[in-house]
Amino acid sequence: MKLDRIAILSWVVLIFTVPWVFFENESRIIGLPSWALYAIITAAVYSIILFVVIEKTWQKEETDE
């Protein structure tokens, strides 16, 4: 994966971490407002994606070293 793609992927996911589509506090899931749960889950997804992206892209740097 190239670095420009990482930047695009990173920002696409970051934009999705904002709870854009929630307008009212419609429901509660495991003690959290649904939009708050969405924010936590997307933050966790971002962390996982970062982990994978670093694993994939930095490998080349390691072999170059």
Partner 1 sequence: MNNTALLSSGGIIILCAYILSLIGIGWLGKKAQKEQSLADFYLAGRGMGFFVLFLTLYATQYSGNTLVGFAGRAYREGYLALVLITFLSAAVGAFAFYGPRLYRLSKKYKFITPSDYIHHRYKYNKLTYMSAAICLVALTNYILTNLKAIGFIVVAVTGGAIPFAYGIIALSLVMVIYESLGGMRSVAWTDAIQGTILLVGVVTIFITINIEYGGFEFIYEHLQKVDPNKISAPTPTQKMSWFSTICLGFFGISLYPHAIQRIYSAKKIKTLKRSIQIMAFMPLITVLFMVFVGLTALALVPGLDRQASEGATLLVLKQLAERGAIGTGMMILFLSATIAAIMSTVDSSLLSMSSIVTKDFYTRLKPGKNQAQLTQIGKGISWAIMAFSVYLAIVLPQTIWRLLEIKLELLIQISPAIFIGLYNSKVKGKSIFYGMLVGTTFSLVVMVANKLGLSVPAKPMGIHAGVWGLLINSCTIYFFEKIQKPKE
Site residues for partner 1 per CB under 8 A: 3-4, 6-7, 10, 14-15, 17-20, 22-25, 28, 30-33, 35-36, 39-40, 42-44, 46-47, 50-51, 53-55, 57-58, 61-62, 64-65
Residue 5's alpha-carbon distances to 8, 36, 58, 61, in angstroms, are 5, 29, 14, 16
Q: How far is the CB of 44 from partner 1 (least distance, A)?
A: 6
Q: How far is the CB of 56 from partner 1 (least distance, A)?
A: 11
Q: How far apart are CA 34 and CA 16, in angstroms?
A: 15
